[in-house]
Amino acid sequence: MLRVLPSFLLLSALAPLCFGAQTPRPAAPGPAAPGPAAPGPAAPGPAAPIPTAPTVDAKSYILVDYRTDKVLAALEPTGRMEPASLTKLMTAYIVFQKLAAGELKLQDPVVVSEHAWRSEGSRTFIELGKPVPVEFLILGMIVQSGNDATIALAERIAGTEETFAQLMNSTAQRLGMTGTHFENSSGLPSPNHYTTARDMSLLAIAMIRDFPQFYKYYSVREFEYNGIKQQNRNGLLEKDPTVDGLKTGHTDSAGYCLVTSSLRDGMRLISVVLGSSSMKARENASASLLNYGFSFYDTKLVAKGGTKLASTPVWKAEVSPVDVGIKDDLYITLPRSQSGDIKTAVDLRARLIAPLGRDADAGQLRVFTGAGPLTTEPLHPLAAVAEGGWWRRLIDTIKLWFA
Protein backbone atom coordinates (compact mmCIF):
# COMPACT_ATOMS: atom_id res chain seq x y z
CA MET A 1 0.00 0.00 0.00
CA LEU A 2 1.43 3.38 -1.01
CA ARG A 3 1.70 5.51 2.17
CA VAL A 4 3.97 8.42 1.11
CA LEU A 5 3.47 10.49 -2.01
CA PRO A 6 6.87 11.04 -3.68
CA SER A 7 8.02 14.63 -3.46
CA PHE A 8 8.32 14.96 -7.24
CA LEU A 9 4.64 14.04 -7.67
CA LEU A 10 3.65 16.66 -5.08
CA LEU A 11 5.74 19.28 -6.84
CA SER A 12 4.22 18.32 -10.17
CA ALA A 13 0.76 18.75 -8.76
CA LEU A 14 1.57 22.11 -7.26
CA ALA A 15 3.65 23.53 -10.10
CA PRO A 16 0.76 25.48 -11.64
CA LEU A 17 0.16 27.09 -8.28
CA CYS A 18 3.80 28.07 -7.95
CA PHE A 19 4.37 29.48 -11.41
CA GLY A 20 0.95 30.56 -12.54
CA ALA A 21 -0.78 31.96 -9.48
CA GLN A 22 1.65 34.25 -7.75
CA THR A 23 -0.08 37.10 -5.94
CA PRO A 24 0.42 40.41 -7.71
CA ARG A 25 1.67 43.42 -5.74
CA PRO A 26 -0.82 46.26 -5.46
CA ALA A 27 0.15 49.47 -7.18
CA ALA A 28 1.25 52.07 -4.64
CA PRO A 29 -0.68 55.33 -4.93
CA GLY A 30 1.30 58.35 -5.96
CA PRO A 31 1.34 61.31 -8.26
CA ALA A 32 -0.03 60.62 -11.74
CA ALA A 33 2.39 60.51 -14.64
CA PRO A 34 2.41 63.75 -16.59
CA GLY A 35 0.43 63.69 -19.82
CA PRO A 36 0.86 65.81 -22.93
CA ALA A 37 1.24 69.49 -22.22
CA ALA A 38 -2.02 71.41 -22.63
CA PRO A 39 -2.16 75.00 -23.73
CA GLY A 40 -2.80 77.43 -20.93
CA PRO A 41 -1.32 80.25 -18.89
CA ALA A 42 2.34 80.26 -18.10
CA ALA A 43 3.39 78.42 -14.94
CA PRO A 44 3.53 80.70 -11.89
CA GLY A 45 6.92 81.72 -10.60
CA PRO A 46 8.34 80.59 -7.27
CA ALA A 47 6.34 81.46 -4.16
CA ALA A 48 7.32 84.63 -2.38
CA PRO A 49 9.52 83.99 0.66
CA ILE A 50 7.93 84.24 4.08
CA PRO A 51 8.77 87.51 5.84
CA THR A 52 10.91 87.38 8.94
CA ALA A 53 9.07 87.28 12.25
CA PRO A 54 8.05 90.60 13.79
CA THR A 55 10.32 92.34 16.27
CA VAL A 56 8.63 92.22 19.68
CA ASP A 57 9.33 93.42 23.20
CA ALA A 58 10.72 90.25 24.77
CA LYS A 59 14.10 88.87 25.77
CA SER A 60 13.12 85.40 24.60
CA TYR A 61 10.18 83.94 22.69
CA ILE A 62 9.01 81.01 20.62
CA LEU A 63 6.02 80.31 18.36
CA VAL A 64 5.14 76.68 17.63
CA ASP A 65 2.34 74.70 16.05
CA TYR A 66 0.51 72.56 18.59
CA ARG A 67 -0.08 69.57 16.29
CA THR A 68 3.36 69.29 14.72
CA ASP A 69 5.61 71.13 17.22
CA LYS A 70 7.10 72.97 14.25
CA VAL A 71 8.89 76.14 15.35
CA LEU A 72 7.60 79.07 13.28
CA ALA A 73 9.56 81.86 14.98
CA ALA A 74 12.01 82.11 17.87
CA LEU A 75 14.42 84.39 19.69
CA GLU A 76 16.83 82.81 22.18
CA PRO A 77 14.41 79.90 22.64
CA THR A 78 16.82 77.87 24.80
CA GLY A 79 18.23 80.78 26.77
CA ARG A 80 17.87 80.37 30.54
CA MET A 81 15.12 82.62 31.91
CA GLU A 82 13.12 83.03 35.10
CA PRO A 83 9.61 81.60 34.66
CA ALA A 84 7.86 83.59 37.41
CA SER A 85 4.25 82.34 37.66
CA LEU A 86 4.55 80.34 34.45
CA THR A 87 5.86 77.80 36.98
CA LYS A 88 2.23 77.19 37.92
CA LEU A 89 1.71 75.44 34.58
CA MET A 90 3.82 72.58 35.91
CA THR A 91 2.05 72.63 39.28
CA ALA A 92 -1.30 72.44 37.46
CA TYR A 93 -0.03 69.63 35.21
CA ILE A 94 0.77 67.49 38.25
CA VAL A 95 -2.54 68.37 39.93
CA PHE A 96 -4.36 67.30 36.76
CA GLN A 97 -2.37 64.06 36.71
CA LYS A 98 -3.61 63.26 40.20
CA LEU A 99 -7.19 64.13 39.27
CA ALA A 100 -7.09 61.99 36.13
CA ALA A 101 -5.69 59.06 38.13
CA GLY A 102 -8.41 59.37 40.76
CA GLU A 103 -5.88 60.15 43.49
CA LEU A 104 -7.44 63.59 43.98
CA LYS A 105 -11.00 64.87 43.55
CA LEU A 106 -12.23 68.36 42.72
CA GLN A 107 -14.34 68.51 45.90
CA ASP A 108 -11.63 67.19 48.24
CA PRO A 109 -11.08 69.69 51.08
CA VAL A 110 -7.56 71.05 51.54
CA VAL A 111 -6.64 72.65 54.86
CA VAL A 112 -4.52 75.78 54.30
CA SER A 113 -1.18 75.65 56.11
CA GLU A 114 0.59 78.64 57.60
CA HIS A 115 3.33 78.30 54.96
CA ALA A 116 0.75 78.62 52.17
CA TRP A 117 -1.18 81.37 53.95
CA ARG A 118 1.95 83.50 54.52
CA SER A 119 3.24 83.16 50.94
CA GLU A 120 4.48 86.33 49.23
CA GLY A 121 3.19 87.80 45.99
CA SER A 122 -0.22 87.36 44.40
CA ARG A 123 -2.88 85.81 46.60
CA THR A 124 -6.26 84.10 46.43
CA PHE A 125 -7.14 85.23 49.97
CA ILE A 126 -7.75 81.75 51.35
CA GLU A 127 -7.92 81.55 55.13
CA LEU A 128 -5.44 79.92 57.49
CA GLY A 129 -6.59 76.56 58.82
CA LYS A 130 -9.81 76.56 56.78
CA PRO A 131 -10.59 73.72 54.33
CA VAL A 132 -10.90 74.80 50.69
CA PRO A 133 -12.11 72.52 47.85
CA VAL A 134 -9.45 71.52 45.32
CA GLU A 135 -11.40 73.12 42.46
CA PHE A 136 -11.36 76.55 44.11
CA LEU A 137 -7.63 76.23 44.67
CA ILE A 138 -7.17 75.37 40.98
CA LEU A 139 -9.13 78.47 39.99
CA GLY A 140 -7.12 80.57 42.42
CA MET A 141 -3.87 79.21 41.00
CA ILE A 142 -4.81 79.63 37.32
CA VAL A 143 -7.10 82.67 37.23
CA GLN A 144 -5.71 84.82 40.04
CA SER A 145 -2.22 83.23 39.97
CA GLY A 146 -2.44 82.94 43.75
CA ASN A 147 0.73 81.69 45.39
CA ASP A 148 -1.22 80.67 48.49
CA ALA A 149 -3.59 78.42 46.52
CA THR A 150 -0.69 76.96 44.57
CA ILE A 151 1.34 76.06 47.64
CA ALA A 152 -1.73 74.58 49.32
CA LEU A 153 -2.20 72.23 46.34
CA ALA A 154 1.48 71.27 46.33
CA GLU A 155 1.38 70.43 50.03
CA ARG A 156 -1.82 68.42 49.60
CA ILE A 157 -0.15 66.26 46.96
CA ALA A 158 3.40 65.88 48.29
CA GLY A 159 3.33 66.90 51.94
CA THR A 160 5.80 69.76 51.52
CA GLU A 161 6.60 72.18 48.74
CA GLU A 162 10.19 70.91 48.63
CA THR A 163 9.02 67.37 47.98
CA PHE A 164 6.57 68.62 45.37
CA ALA A 165 9.45 70.33 43.54
CA GLN A 166 11.01 66.90 43.07
CA LEU A 167 7.85 65.78 41.28
CA MET A 168 8.02 68.90 39.14
CA ASN A 169 11.59 68.20 38.05
CA SER A 170 11.01 64.52 37.30
CA THR A 171 7.95 65.46 35.24
CA ALA A 172 9.96 68.12 33.39
CA GLN A 173 12.55 65.48 32.46
CA ARG A 174 9.84 63.13 31.19
CA LEU A 175 8.41 65.89 28.98
CA GLY A 176 11.83 66.69 27.50
CA MET A 177 12.23 70.03 29.29
CA THR A 178 16.00 69.79 29.38
CA GLY A 179 16.63 73.46 30.21
CA THR A 180 14.36 73.66 33.25
CA HIS A 181 14.79 73.31 37.00
CA PHE A 182 12.16 74.07 39.63
CA GLU A 183 12.69 74.89 43.30
CA ASN A 184 9.13 75.83 44.26
CA SER A 185 5.56 75.43 43.06
CA SER A 186 4.62 79.09 42.62
CA GLY A 187 7.48 80.73 40.71
CA LEU A 188 8.89 82.98 43.41
CA PRO A 189 12.49 83.95 42.48
CA SER A 190 15.23 81.51 43.47
CA PRO A 191 18.80 81.11 42.14
CA ASN A 192 18.20 77.62 40.71
CA HIS A 193 14.65 78.16 39.48
CA TYR A 194 14.71 78.60 35.71
CA THR A 195 13.29 77.51 32.37
CA THR A 196 13.41 78.32 28.63
CA ALA A 197 10.84 79.46 26.11
CA ARG A 198 11.23 76.14 24.32
CA ASP A 199 10.55 74.15 27.48
CA MET A 200 7.47 76.21 28.27
CA SER A 201 6.11 75.48 24.80
CA LEU A 202 6.58 71.74 25.42
CA LEU A 203 4.74 72.03 28.73
CA ALA A 204 1.86 73.96 27.16
CA ILE A 205 1.50 71.36 24.40
CA ALA A 206 1.53 68.55 26.97
CA MET A 207 -1.09 70.34 29.07
CA ILE A 208 -3.56 70.65 26.18
CA ARG A 209 -2.83 67.17 24.80
CA ASP A 210 -2.86 65.20 28.06
CA PHE A 211 -5.66 66.93 29.99
CA PRO A 212 -8.27 68.35 27.60
CA GLN A 213 -10.92 67.78 30.27
CA PHE A 214 -9.20 70.32 32.56
CA TYR A 215 -7.92 72.77 29.97
CA LYS A 216 -11.18 74.74 30.32
CA TYR A 217 -9.88 76.35 33.51
CA TYR A 218 -7.40 78.42 31.49
CA SER A 219 -10.19 80.33 29.74
CA VAL A 220 -12.08 81.26 32.93
CA ARG A 221 -12.09 85.07 33.02
CA GLU A 222 -13.14 85.57 36.62
CA PHE A 223 -14.32 83.67 39.66
CA GLU A 224 -15.51 84.56 43.13
CA TYR A 225 -14.35 83.05 46.39
CA ASN A 226 -15.13 84.15 49.92
CA GLY A 227 -16.99 87.18 48.56
CA ILE A 228 -14.03 88.41 46.51
CA LYS A 229 -14.14 88.52 42.68
CA GLN A 230 -10.85 87.71 41.01
CA GLN A 231 -9.97 88.47 37.38
CA ASN A 232 -7.84 86.47 34.95
CA ARG A 233 -4.62 88.38 34.27
CA ASN A 234 -4.39 87.17 30.66
CA GLY A 235 -5.81 90.21 28.84
CA LEU A 236 -5.79 88.40 25.48
CA LEU A 237 -8.78 86.35 26.64
CA GLU A 238 -10.82 89.53 26.36
CA LYS A 239 -9.16 90.95 23.24
CA ASP A 240 -8.99 87.86 21.00
CA PRO A 241 -11.86 85.33 20.97
CA THR A 242 -9.55 82.65 19.50
CA VAL A 243 -7.30 82.74 22.60
CA ASP A 244 -8.29 80.14 25.24
CA GLY A 245 -5.25 80.03 27.57
CA LEU A 246 -2.76 79.70 29.17
CA LYS A 247 -0.83 81.63 31.85
CA THR A 248 0.76 84.93 32.83
CA GLY A 249 3.82 85.53 34.98
CA HIS A 250 5.66 88.49 36.47
CA THR A 251 8.37 89.32 38.96
CA ASP A 252 10.73 92.28 39.00
CA SER A 253 13.63 90.06 37.93
CA ALA A 254 11.75 87.94 35.36
CA GLY A 255 9.84 90.78 33.72
CA TYR A 256 6.42 90.15 32.20
CA CYS A 257 5.80 86.68 30.74
CA LEU A 258 2.93 85.05 28.90
CA VAL A 259 2.19 81.61 27.45
CA THR A 260 -0.70 81.83 24.99
CA SER A 261 -2.71 79.32 22.97
CA SER A 262 -4.96 80.30 20.08
CA LEU A 263 -7.19 78.14 17.87
CA ARG A 264 -8.21 79.47 14.45
CA ASP A 265 -9.94 77.37 11.78
CA GLY A 266 -8.68 74.13 13.31
CA MET A 267 -5.05 75.26 13.60
CA ARG A 268 -3.67 75.82 17.11
CA LEU A 269 -0.53 77.84 17.82
CA ILE A 270 1.38 78.25 21.09
CA SER A 271 3.41 81.38 21.82
CA VAL A 272 5.76 81.89 24.75
CA VAL A 273 6.98 85.40 25.55
CA LEU A 274 9.54 85.92 28.34
CA GLY A 275 11.03 89.10 29.74
CA SER A 276 8.70 91.76 28.30
CA SER A 277 8.74 95.24 29.80
CA SER A 278 5.03 95.52 30.73
CA MET A 279 1.68 93.74 30.72
CA LYS A 280 0.71 95.51 27.51
CA ALA A 281 4.05 94.64 25.90
CA ARG A 282 3.69 90.92 26.60
CA GLU A 283 0.16 90.91 25.17
CA ASN A 284 1.20 92.85 22.08
CA ALA A 285 4.18 90.56 21.56
CA SER A 286 2.02 87.45 21.85
CA ALA A 287 -0.65 88.83 19.53
CA SER A 288 1.93 89.82 16.91
CA LEU A 289 3.54 86.38 16.93
CA LEU A 290 0.20 84.57 16.69
CA ASN A 291 -1.00 86.75 13.83
CA TYR A 292 2.28 86.17 12.01
CA GLY A 293 2.00 82.40 12.37
CA PHE A 294 -1.61 82.18 11.26
CA SER A 295 -1.02 84.54 8.32
CA PHE A 296 1.94 82.74 6.76
CA TYR A 297 1.63 79.07 7.81
CA ASP A 298 -0.96 76.34 7.56
CA THR A 299 -1.27 72.94 9.23
CA LYS A 300 -2.91 70.15 7.25
CA LEU A 301 -4.12 66.69 8.21
CA VAL A 302 -2.29 64.46 5.72
CA ALA A 303 -3.55 61.04 6.84
CA LYS A 304 -5.79 59.72 9.60
CA GLY A 305 -4.33 57.24 12.01
CA GLY A 306 -5.95 53.80 12.06
CA THR A 307 -7.51 54.11 8.62
CA LYS A 308 -6.76 52.09 5.48
CA LEU A 309 -4.10 53.62 3.24
CA ALA A 310 -3.36 50.49 1.18
CA SER A 311 -3.75 46.71 1.08
CA THR A 312 -0.92 44.22 0.82
CA PRO A 313 -0.71 40.43 0.41
CA VAL A 314 0.62 38.43 3.38
CA TRP A 315 2.08 34.95 2.90
CA LYS A 316 0.78 32.07 5.05
CA ALA A 317 -2.01 34.28 6.40
CA GLU A 318 -5.53 33.25 7.32
CA VAL A 319 -6.80 36.25 5.33
CA SER A 320 -4.92 38.08 2.58
CA PRO A 321 -4.58 40.83 1.50
CA VAL A 322 -4.63 42.92 4.69
CA ASP A 323 -5.19 46.64 5.22
CA VAL A 324 -2.31 48.82 6.40
CA GLY A 325 -2.09 52.38 7.72
CA ILE A 326 -0.32 54.66 10.18
CA LYS A 327 -0.94 54.60 13.93
CA ASP A 328 -1.61 58.28 14.66
CA ASP A 329 -3.01 61.22 12.74
CA LEU A 330 -0.28 62.83 10.63
CA TYR A 331 -0.24 66.62 10.40
CA ILE A 332 2.19 68.76 8.40
CA THR A 333 2.87 72.48 8.90
CA LEU A 334 3.98 74.35 5.77
CA PRO A 335 4.04 77.86 4.41
CA ARG A 336 0.55 78.66 3.13
CA SER A 337 1.89 78.97 -0.41
CA GLN A 338 2.92 75.27 -0.30
CA SER A 339 0.18 73.72 1.82
CA GLY A 340 -1.99 72.88 -1.21
CA ASP A 341 0.83 70.92 -2.87
CA ILE A 342 1.12 68.02 -0.40
CA LYS A 343 1.30 64.57 -2.01
CA THR A 344 1.68 61.07 -0.57
CA ALA A 345 2.92 57.70 -1.83
CA VAL A 346 2.82 54.25 -0.22
CA ASP A 347 5.86 51.94 -0.39
CA LEU A 348 4.94 48.38 0.69
CA ARG A 349 7.36 45.71 1.84
CA ALA A 350 7.90 43.06 -0.81
CA ARG A 351 7.42 40.03 1.45
CA LEU A 352 5.26 39.84 4.59
CA ILE A 353 4.74 36.49 6.33
CA ALA A 354 2.10 35.72 8.97
CA PRO A 355 1.72 35.90 11.89
CA LEU A 356 2.03 39.69 12.15
CA GLY A 357 1.30 41.94 15.10
CA ARG A 358 -0.04 45.47 14.80
CA ASP A 359 3.50 46.80 15.23
CA ALA A 360 4.86 44.87 12.24
CA ASP A 361 6.71 46.91 9.60
CA ALA A 362 4.58 46.83 6.46
CA GLY A 363 6.29 49.68 4.58
CA GLN A 364 6.20 53.44 4.72
CA LEU A 365 4.09 56.43 3.80
CA ARG A 366 6.09 59.12 2.01
CA VAL A 367 4.94 62.75 2.15
CA PHE A 368 6.34 65.31 -0.26
CA THR A 369 5.66 68.42 -2.31
CA GLY A 370 6.98 69.53 -5.66
CA ALA A 371 9.86 71.11 -3.75
CA GLY A 372 10.98 67.78 -2.27
CA PRO A 373 10.38 65.22 0.52
CA LEU A 374 8.82 66.26 3.82
CA THR A 375 8.62 63.17 6.02
CA THR A 376 8.00 59.43 6.15
CA GLU A 377 5.78 57.43 8.49
CA PRO A 378 5.91 53.66 9.10
CA LEU A 379 2.97 51.57 7.93
CA HIS A 380 1.51 48.79 10.09
CA PRO A 381 -1.31 46.24 9.76
CA LEU A 382 -4.56 47.74 11.03
CA ALA A 383 -5.28 44.44 12.79
CA ALA A 384 -3.16 41.48 13.87
CA VAL A 385 -2.70 38.92 11.08
CA ALA A 386 -3.15 35.28 12.10
CA GLU A 387 -1.54 32.30 10.40
CA GLY A 388 -3.62 30.32 7.95
CA GLY A 389 -4.30 26.61 8.14
CA TRP A 390 -1.70 23.93 7.33
CA TRP A 391 -2.66 23.78 3.65
CA ARG A 392 -2.34 27.55 3.22
CA ARG A 393 1.04 27.51 4.94
CA LEU A 394 2.20 24.56 2.79
CA ILE A 395 1.14 26.16 -0.48
CA ASP A 396 2.76 29.50 0.40
CA THR A 397 5.95 27.81 1.63
CA ILE A 398 6.35 26.21 -1.79
CA LYS A 399 5.49 29.46 -3.58
CA LEU A 400 8.15 31.27 -1.59
CA TRP A 401 10.81 28.89 -2.97
CA PHE A 402 10.23 30.46 -6.37
CA ALA A 403 9.12 33.99 -5.42
For 328, residues 6+ apart whose C-beta sits below 8 A from its C-beta are 305
List the catalytic residue out of 60, 85, 186, 262. 85
The question of whether 60 is a catalytic residue gets the answer no
C-alpha–C-alpha distance, residues 259 and 271, integer Å: 6
Q: DSSP 3-state assignment of 97?
A: helix
C-alpha–C-alpha distance, residues 396 and 356, integer Å: 16
C-alpha–C-alpha distance, residues 169 and 71, integer Å: 24
List the catalytic residue out of 113, 122, 145, 320. 145
List the catalytic residue out of 88, 247, 316, 399. 88
Helix (H) / strand (E) containing 367: strand 363-369
Q: What type of residue is 10?
A: L
List residues bridging with 315 in a β-sheet: 353
Closest CA to 377 of 333, 353, 345: 345
Q: What type of residue is 373?
A: P
The question of whether 88 is a catalytic residue gets the answer yes
The question of whether 85 is a catalytic residue gets the answer yes
C-alpha–C-alpha distance, residues 232 and 279, integer Å: 13
Q: How far is CA 132 from the centre of its chain?
A: 33
Catalytic residue annotation: 85, 88, 145
